[in-house]
Amino acid sequence: MSNSEEQFKRYALKIRCLVHYGKGGKIQCCWRNCQVIDPDCLTLDHVEDDGNLNRQPSGRRRAGSSFYSWILARDFPEGIQVLCCNHQQLKEIRKRRQKQTLPEGSDAYKRGVNKGRIKAQ
């Protein structure tokens, strides 16, 4: 298989995952009122920030086409959403901000509010 054929195959796999997890079955960010539809600006996000559970046996992260292949092999598991790069970054910023503002021993911290579980709005 040529390099361009391999690139097309990987891109088609990404598109298939974006359609499955996108807002309304379309290639679109799941964040409320976000209109981003450019596949190059969209990413897959673990809703519960539990991507560490999907690591390879070696401990390496799955990313890009290996992550898309992993998803396809498991028939599109739940807990994944499409976010644009901006909203992916905003989710991370809010998660870190929560960690700074909640006391470690507080009830909210113990309930997991502080673990970055911020779903697309």
For residue 82, pLDDT beyond 80: yes
pLDDT of residue 55: 57
Place of tokens 């470690």: 104
Answer yes or no: are the C-beta atoms of 13 and 65 closer than 8 Å.
yes
The strand pairing partners of 43, in sequence order, are 83
Q: Between these two residues, 22 and 3, which has the higher pLDDT value?
A: 22
pLDDT of residue 40: 96
Grouping H, G, I as helix, E, B as strand and the rest as coil, residue 30 is coil
For residue 115, pLDDT beyond 50: no
Tell me the mean pLDDT in the region 41-70: 77
**Residue boundaries of the structural domains of the chain:** 3-84
pLDDT of residue 28: 97
The strand pairing partners of 44, in sequence order, are 82
Q: Between these two residues, 42 and 102, which has the higher pLDDT value?
A: 42
Tell me the mean pLDDT in the region 19-29: 96
